[in-house]
Structure 1
């Protein structure tokens, strides 16, 4: 039996037996393989990185120039880059706490700098040949759908607080059901929330929520549902969830004093009618108009402090007192839309602490704002009803818990 032995690249090779073409009888050519490893004397070190990456957040009261200098860029270059940025971005809008990422070459030269303006935009400075370019870029997002559920124990904010940026879901939910639910006074422990939402990701990281596609709120045993259709929300029968009046002029506060004809005034010390509803809230909390209308008064009014009054349809009028400030442009004759900001909570006039004193009249006579019944907006056009019902079919199953979309990591239950 023949044998061949050879050495190649530090390995000894011997081959296994193979038949020889045309051989007679049992004639065979035998090969055998054997591998013998020979260790290297020294391992090859990995190639050094060609850039140095610095990531951080803008410090309090810091500027772009200071941030670049703190990242070891020469002050001359930092000032030149700031001048380069001015035509594309207002440097006064650099915000502390926002993130940045800087890449420097090994010789110290800047390769790129990125500053995250907000959830959707980034300021980018990049070296191009022998010069730098600055531009504001809009981020591209990957969109996923998810089901979010929560049980309320104290407030809607608390219930959704386990989700990243859950406060934005709470604000959106308030807008959807604002005509049916006063989230300051109607919410009870044990109420349930279930949402079908879009989540937006950039480079695999969650950035923000998109639209709420469907929402369900079980409040005191009663179920409210809303479905997004052509940029508006409707219940299962195609009735608009939006009504002529919101149930509250504030978002997520607490009622400190209700409408009554006899209440001990905290400053004057005598029993007087309290023909309004007081909402306790921090100074500066936005105050919104509860319905479309026209401003009839905006200014100082004795014990009411800063006051805004609005005339609405059907002889109704509302008043918003003790404001710390009145929103720019709010003046008599100004047309107002439901939800417009008209001022901010304060403690002006005869007030013991920051709160909104909210009044409502019909034909000049005080009425309880919490008891107002308002007409809904027009329902879905009959011609669009089949399209609407077809579109919400899967959403209804999701709200009932029967269908789960493949969703991102935020889907789940908060308690």
Structure 2
């Protein structure tokens, strides 16, 4: 074993041999030292933009001289609207070994950053965009309660639910016409960054099959850049009337001739349908018309 006196002695001899050997192997004469190219060392310092901070203040906190700060912000104005600087954005400063400014980076997200480089006495700004990689995914599921819960149950996002419902909003009322056992299929573009999915881009094709029938949607963009969804016969899914007046959420109270009023605490007719949505949700008119009372 290694703990035996002989092996411990042999280990120490071997270690000493390596220490002596390797400097000799990599030694070089003074005449050849000038031929060895050394990589320039950069010092990197970064921070996260906080509420109430601006670029000039942050650069000052990072010990960037006033003259440098002025030239950096002046160059950035060509590419970056200072009003779009938001908390959570990143700022990175690069300096040489002597502490002289070399490069500035303002990172909005993994795909967009703004860079100011100093070359001698000149400053150059640049907008750098790195598009995410796109992949096609296939999603399939069966309705077990509501469309919303069924899509979330298979690990998909809220956004995919709303995008899917919006496509069929003219032909299907997902709040009242969905039945357990109905099926849906979705082909969707996903964005990836470093092999990690960061979100959905757009739905390319989709279908919904159930007791209400079979419905298909195919994405198409024409020569005039108009985008829309069409059925198998090439007809637009947009009809004269929407099935619901706002983006798919949930119904909190249905039409009924005998409903227990939650405030008055009495049974009375409810001649309408109440939709539960977050504050600020856009409401769409289900069709063309004239306002007669408001």
Q: Give the TM-score, by structure 1 length.
A: 0.50
Confirm or deny that 1:199 pairs with 2:190: yes
1:258 aligned residue: 254
Structure 1 unaligned regions, length at least 5: 1-36, 302-306, 308-415
Tell me how many residue pairs correspond in the alignment: 257
Q: Residues 185 and 254 of structure 1 are in contact (CA less than 8 Å); yes or no, is this contact kept in structure 2?
A: no
Equivalent residues of 1:226, 1:236 under 8 A apart:
yes
1:283 equivalent to 2:279? Answer yes
RMSD, aligned α-carbons: 4.0
Higher helix share: 2
- Mapped to 1, the partners of 2:154 and 2:206 lie a distance apart of 18
1:130 partnered with 2:130: no
SS of corresponding position for 2:219: strand
What residue number does 1:92 align with?
Answer: 83
State the Cα distance separating 1:262 from its structure 2 match: 4.5
Q: What TM-score does the superposition give when structure 2 sets the normalisation length?
A: 0.66
Q: Which residue of 2 aligns with 1:159?
A: 151
Distance 1:84 1:42, change over 3 A: same
Check conservation: 1:88, 1:136, Cα contact below 8 A.
yes
Partner residue, 1:247: 243
Name 1:209's counterpart in structure 2.
Answer: 200
Q: In the superposition, relative to structure 1, how do residues 94 and 259 fare at CA in structure 2: closer, same or farther (>3 Å)?
A: same
Rg (Cα) greater in structure: 1
Is the 1:184–1:251 contact (alpha carbons within 8 Å) kept by the matching residues of 2? no
Please point out which of 226, 231, 236 is paired with 2:217: 226
Change (3 A) 1:214 1:80: same
1:294 deviates by: 5.5
CA offset digits 1:254-311 (Å, max 9, x no partner): 21112234544444555554322111222222323333x36637xxx8xxxxx5xxxx
**Higher relative contact order structure (alpha carbons within 8 Å, sequence separation ≥ 6):** 1
User: 2:83 aligns to what SS in structure 1?
Assistant: helix
Q: Secondary structure at the match of 2:233?
A: coil
Q: 1:169 maps to what in 2?
A: 160
2:141–2:150 CA contact under 8 A, matched in 1: no
Structure 2 residue runs without a partner (length 5+): 1-17, 27-37, 222-226
